[in-house]
Amino acid sequence: MAAATSSSPISLTAKPSSKSPLPISRFSLPFSLTPQKPSSRLHRPLAISAVLNSPVNVAPEKTDKIKTFISRYAPDEPRKGADILVEALERQGVETVFAYPGGASMEIHQALTRSSTIRNVLPRHEQGGVFAAEGYARSSGKPGICIATSGPGATNLVSGLADAMLDSVPLVAITGQVPRRMIGTDAFQETPIVEVTRSITKHNYLVMDVDDIPRIVQEAFFLATSGRPGPVLVDVPKDIQQQLAIPNWDQPMRLPGYMSRLPQPPEVSQLGQIVRLISESKRPVLYVGGGSLNSSEELGRFVELTGIPVASTLMGLGSYPCNDELSLQMLGMHGTVYANYAVEHSDLLLAFGVRFDDRVTGKLEAFASRAKIVHIDIDSAEIGKNKTPHVSVCGDVKLALQGMNKVLENRAEELKLDFGVWRSELSEQKQKFPLSFKTFGEAIPPQYAIQVLDELTQGKAIISTGVGQHQMWAAQFYKYRKPRQWLSSSGLGAMGFGLPAAIGASVANPDAIVVDIDGDGSFIMNVQELATIRVENLPVKILLLNNQHLGMVMQWEDRFYKANRAHTYLGDPARENEIFPNMLQFAGACGIPAARVTKKEELREAIQTMLDTPGPYLLDVICPHQEHVLPMIPSGGTFKDVITEGDGRTKY
């Protein structure tokens, strides 16, 4: 049987399983041996949508693809639990996993070698594996799969699981565990990973019976991809992996509590009320987030019908084209002045698939204080959590937009929406406060490097980033045309995300241009993944904005700590005139072509060479460390506190 974990550990004296040939020792376990009803204190209430968020979601009914699956085993042929697990993945349509082997997971890896359909992309660190799985999921909409061994292998997944939880990324993580009889004995490489990850996964399982594997895998994929997507962890003891069994592929899912919280399709009356508020407003603005990525077509039609300008969160970039005249680009701490101006002066805020994060709102009481707020989100826990809406709809943004578009189409002549005056006012703000940067001699402004990349790729590349200044500049100066072009650790802000995420994106989109825009601090955190890129021959391009500093922390030092440097210099203090470390040698050690550029006049040609070179390439762009990400609203501030001038060359 499987112990589906609840929010609080339950300690029971274990009894030998009636179905298992192996006894379970008689000590207190940090999990229940009988399925528990979901606790009312779950970290996040689970809800699923009538329209699933991913094209590969598994509905309760088996699809034709699953019905026609041809196993390599005879129906009555016993096989190892690890082979059952791998076949369960195949039946979910999995084609790629990011798996790093170890003692407690090697049975799974042996089974993977017997699969003719699943490719393992071998990361060089488990964190690289989980971030790559995220990049795969974020860029494709399909669930990402990562596998690690017990103990340190499993704990190395923690940052990626937390990241997927905060950014609502569908992920299935499979970990090996010590044999059941050793659980709780502090065995070699044992960690209670279901307990460790309880609050940073949507759900997790400890498999205690080999016969439960087919059902658990089906449930894990359904939970990860339905409703508000998120990570699900499946922990599989080694003796379960080795046990022989004949699987039953027709087991039903056991998710009564989850299924009962299925949001209903939005009511026409609710949508009509929202349309009425739109018709009554003079200064409406759309505030769209990651929950709108699967609804870009419907969002585009909604904007076409209403003429309402669109501001995006960091997660929502690409859900509406950033190069469109109605796009206000990003709002929030480092958002455009005109996006924040629009929210500040709006009388109606249409918040679709967002969570009113502190980096967007600043001081909550002052955020959109003049506006009526409409909040549509699939997760009931987000509605009213930070900001109380005037009208709320708990449901799928896609369905809500479809419904509102029908109402708007049917009532177009009657409504005659015209927000031309408001749009003109915002156009003036765009002209008055454009995104800009200064040039100092031959030095390369990092913003300019991203601008050139946008021009040369025509805004069509998939961009991944690390975390810091380069991340914000990539959000500001690259004009994303479509959803799933922008891959960034937004809620968690995990440095080291960019390079492995680009690996996942390149695997999922082999014909796409994939560029990791990275900073020297973030890049070096998972630099070992250059080896994976070379071995897999992935055409990942790395645009490294190298300023020898931990840039964003340094910016805060400049602004709020009198430029006192507290361990933010990443070079060699004994050789400050040299670039350290030499990133070109990292690339060279992995057989990846690389070049360095230091002058602005040479940048365009260098980027073009990077794009034209087949396979992977690293371009080390040396930038001045004094640059600041602007605009900036200080943490907890309001629109009135926005900073638009200055850099590290100025004393504050």
Please write the tens of the pLDDT for every residue from 419-464: 999 999 999 999 999 999 999 999 999 999 999 999 999 999 999 9
Tokens of 542: 């790395």
How far apart (Å, rounded) are the C-alpha atoms in residues 83 and 240?
11
Please tell me the predicted confidence (pLDDT) of residue 42: 38
Q: 450 among the known binding-site residues?
A: no
What is the pLDDT confidence band of residue 652, given thresholds at 50, 70 and 90? confident
402 a catalytic residue: no
552 a catalytic residue: yes
DSSP codes joined into one string, 44-107:
S-----SS-SSTT---SSPPHHHHT---SS-TT--EEHHHHHHHHHHHTT--EEEE---TTTHH
Give SS3 for 2: strand
Tokens of 295: 């609804």
Q: Where is 535: in which H helix or E strand?
A: helix 529-536
Closest alpha carbon to 33 in 18, 44, 48: 18
Same domain, 361 and 451: no
Residue 308 in domain: yes
Catalytic pick among 552, 583, 610, 632: 552
Please tell me the predicted confidence (pLDDT) of residue 139: 98
Same domain, 143 and 232: yes
Q: 385 among the known binding-site residues?
A: yes
Q: 338 among the known binding-site residues?
A: yes
Catalytic pick among 36, 110, 189, 242: 189
Same domain, 294 and 250: no
Please write the tens of the pLDDT for every residue from 92-140: 999 999 999 999 999 999 999 999 999 999 999 999 999 999 999 999 9
pTM of the model: 0.90
Catalytic pick among 27, 188, 440, 560: 188
Please tell me the predicted confidence (pLDDT) of residue 21: 39
282 a catalytic residue: no
CA distance to 119, 180, 223, 314, 632, per residue, from 491 (Å)? 30, 35, 21, 9, 18
Q: 520 among the known binding-site residues?
A: yes
Is 576 exposed, middle or buried, given 0-12, 13-18 or 19+ CB atoms closer than 10 A?
A: exposed
CATH number of the domain residue 326 falls in = 3.40.50.1220
188 a catalytic residue: yes
Please tell me the predicted confidence (pLDDT) of residue 132: 98
Please write the tens of the pLDDT for every residue from 596-624: 999 999 999 999 999 999 999 999 999 99
Q: Where is 341: in which H helix or E strand?
A: helix 337-345
437 a catalytic residue: no
Q: Is the pLDDT of residue 9 over 60?
A: no
Q: How many domains does the chain contain in total? A: 3
Residue 645 in domain: no
Tracing tokens 């994106």 back to the chain, one arrives at 505
Same domain, 385 and 507: no
Compute the average pLDDT of residues 50-78.
61
How far apart (Å, rounded) are the C-alpha atoms in residues 190 and 103?
11
Distance of CA 257 to the CA centre of its chain: 26
Please tell me the predicted confidence (pLDDT) of residue 436: 96
Please tell me the predicted confidence (pLDDT) of residue 67: 58
Please tell me the predicted confidence (pLDDT) of residue 263: 87
Q: HSE-up of 364 (CA within 13 Å, CB side)?
A: 10
Residue 46 in domain: no
Same domain, 245 and 146: yes
Q: 337 among the known binding-site residues?
A: yes
Give SS3 for 355: coil
Residue 170 in domain: yes
Same domain, 528 and 459: yes
Within 125-174, where are the H helices?
A: 126-140, 152-155, 158-167
Catalytic pick among 80, 142, 202, 238: 238
Q: 261 among the known binding-site residues?
A: no
Q: 323 among the known binding-site residues?
A: no
Same domain, 113 and 174: yes
Give SS3 for 154: helix
**Beta pairing, strands 372-377 & 391-394:** parallel
Same domain, 456 and 421: no
> Which amino acid, 505?
A
How far apart (Å, rounded) are the C-alpha atoms in residues 220 and 565?
46
Tokens of 364: 């909550």
Q: Cβ(122)–Cβ(100) under 8 Å?
A: yes
> Which amino acid, 159?
S
Tracing tokens 């070179």 back to the chain, one arrives at 613
Which residues constitute the domain of residue 314? 268-432
Please write the tens of the pLDDT for every residue from 519-573: 999 999 999 999 999 999 999 999 999 999 999 999 999 999 999 999 999 999 9
Size of the chain, expressed as the number of residues it contains: 652
Tokens of 134: 């995220």
Contacts of 263 (CB under 8 A, 6+ apart): 47, 48, 49, 50, 227, 378, 380, 394, 395, 396
Buried b / exposed e along 474-494 (16+ C-beta atoms within 10 A): bbbbbbbbbbbbbbbbbbbbb
Q: Which residues pair with 518 in a beta bridge?
A: 544
Q: Is the pLDDT of residue 5 over 70?
A: no
Residue 45 in domain: no
CATH number of the domain residue 549 falls in = 3.40.50.970
Please tell me the predicted confidence (pLDDT) of residue 47: 35
Residue 637 in domain: no
Please write the tens of the pLDDT for every residue from 178-231: 999 999 999 999 999 999 999 999 999 999 999 999 999 999 999 999 999 999
Compute the average pLDDT of residues 252-274.
94
Distance of CA 579 to the CA centre of its chain: 32
Same domain, 599 and 516: yes
Is 311 exposed, middle or buried, given 0-12, 13-18 or 19+ CB atoms closer than 10 A?
A: buried
How far apart (Å, rounded) are the C-alpha atoms in residues 115 and 96?
11
Sign of CA dihedral 265, 270, 274, 276: positive
Catalytic pick among 87, 90, 107, 126: 126
Same domain, 106 and 250: yes
Q: Is the pLDDT of residue 377 over 80?
A: yes
Sheet strands side by side (includes 462-465):
486-487, 462-465, 514-519, 540-546, 617-622, 594-597
The residue among 201, 224, 258 that closes a domain is 258
> Which amino acid, 332?
G
Closest alpha carbon to 108 in 477, 118, 71, 572: 118
> Which amino acid, 8?
S
Same domain, 97 and 157: yes
Please tell me the predicted confidence (pLDDT) of residue 1: 43
The residue among 371, 402, 432 that closes a domain is 432
User: How far separated are the first and last CA of the chain, in Å rounded?
Assistant: 62
The residue among 258, 289, 316 that closes a domain is 258
Q: 282 among the known binding-site residues?
A: no
What is the pLDDT confidence band of residue 16, given thresholds at 50, 70 and 90? very low
Same domain, 394 and 497: no
Tokens of 10: 């339950």
Q: 334 among the known binding-site residues?
A: yes
